Structure formats: C-alpha cells, structure tokens
Amino acid sequence: MTGPNYGQTFAHMREGCTPSWQAYTRHAFVQGLGDGTLPRAAFLHYLVQDYVYLVNYARAWSLGVVKAETLDEMKHCAATVDVLVNQEMALHVQVCAAEGISEQQLFDASEEIENIAYTRYVLDAGMQGDFLDLMAALAPCIFGYGEIGLQLAQTAGADAPYADWINTYASPGFQTACTSAGAMLDGAVTRRLGDDPTSSPRWSVLQDRFTTATQLEIKFWDMGLRGGSLGA
C-alpha cells in the first residue's frame, strides 16, 4: 500500500494494519466530505464532537511532554499542544460560530461513547507505557488526516462544500507538520529500539496500539455519520 512519506515507523505500522487503515482513510464519512454529499448536520455533529476530542487530544500531547526523554521530543510535544489549544481548536470555534453554535455550546457538548473510548485509550496507553506507547496511539490521528487531506484534494474543487476542511489537511503547512512528526517518531523509535525496530520484542505491542487507535478512528467516523442533535 502506498501513501505519502511520513517516515519509516509510520510506513511499517500502516503496513501492519492495512485493512483497518483503508477502512479509516476511505470511510463513507471521508467520501462524503470529498464529494460534498455529507449532510451538513452530520458534519456539524462531527465538529462539535471533534472539539471535545481536541481538548483530550491536547491533554495526551501534554503527557508527551511528561514522558519525553530528550529536549527535542519535549519541544515537539509542547509545540503540538500550543498549536492544538491556540489554533486548531479556534478553527472549530470559528466554523461552528458561523453556523450559530456558540463556544459555550461546544464546551457543554456531551461526549459520545466513541469519543470517550478513543481519547481515553490514548491517554491510558501513555499513562501505562512510555513515550513510544503514547506516540503509537497518537500517530493514526495525524498521519491519517494527512493522507485523507491529500487524497480528497486530488478531486475536490475550490468550491466544494467542505473545501476548507480539505484544504486545512492538504495544506503544505499541515503536510510539513506530518513529515516533522514522522521524523520525530522515527528518531524516538531508533533511540529506544535501535536500527531494526520491527525485530524488537516491543514492536507487536506498539503495532497493537497503532491498530487499536486506527480502529477507534473508524468508530469516530461511524459516530459522525450517525449524526444526531447538536450538543447531544
């Protein structure tokens, strides 16, 4: 299976769960974003849940600051927390505001089961394990959206209903962030597991973290498709 080059570790882990990876990156929700057929209500429902997701996702990257073993790792995690809290979440607030959903409604939104399952799994992986356990669980989020952004940008025009969303993830800025996260992950893996990491006894556990997080991304899209009333 081919895809963008976000480093060796990601390439191995994606290869290690190809059916799940395809189900995640080619999900019906993703197709609907691309061809514009996704109902607006489903998109907004997803965005509200995603705001709550980002709050917990930022907590998980903060745990990365705690678990880091080099200053570079610490800097990468701290910078990611900054982007998430001060930029990425603001984007959700902006889009929702334009649709009449206030920031208060976002804060008050009750978290759906799939959302809880995903972020608590990632936080638990990091709490139980070391930096690599945490990164393996965080990885599908960033690299998956990088792939999806590129994939959808190939066909969606500038006037497509979800062009803004697509361009966020297809943009050179986000693609550079994926490449830099991939390099950080490769460095973290080499530092702890050496030059032949897939032969390490730890690899299967790390692959399992990545695969489970990928399956939780699929569930998150399923939740998005289900739609539902805003904030509920």
Ligand X SMILES: Cc1ncc(C[n+]2csc(CCO)c2C)c(N)n1
Tokens of 108: 């008050």
Encoded amino acid at 104, one letter: Q
Q: Is 17 a catalytic residue?
A: no
Active-site residue, from 17, 77, 96, 141 = 141
- Minimum separation from the CB atom of position 224 to ligand X (A): 9
- Minimum separation from the CB atom of position 55 to ligand X (A): 11
How many Å apart are CA 145 and CA 197, to the nearest integer?
Answer: 25
Nearest residue to ligand X, scored by beta-carbon proximity: 141
**Binding footprint of ligand X on the chain (CB under 6 A):** 50, 53-54, 57, 80, 84, 88, 141-142, 145, 217, 220
Number of Cβ within 10 Å of residue 1's Cβ equals 9
Tokens of 27: 């999900």
With respect to ligand X, which residue has the nearer C-beta, 43 or 220?
220
With respect to ligand X, which residue has the nearer C-beta, 99 or 222?
222
CA angle 154, 11, 79 (to 5 degrees): 80
Q: Within a 13 Å sphere around the CA of 99, how many CA atoms are in the beta-carbon half?
A: 19
Q: Is 96 a catalytic residue?
A: no
Active-site residue, from 73, 114, 147, 217 = 217
- Minimum separation from the CB atom of position 145 to ligand X (A): 4
Q: What is the DSSP string of 14-37?
A: HHTTHHHHHHHHT-HHHHHHHHS-
With respect to ligand X, which residue has the nearer C-beta, 137 or 156?
137
- Provide the residue count of the chain: 232
- Minimum separation from the CB atom of position 194 to ligand X (A): 26
What amino acid positions are annotated as catalytic residues? 141, 217
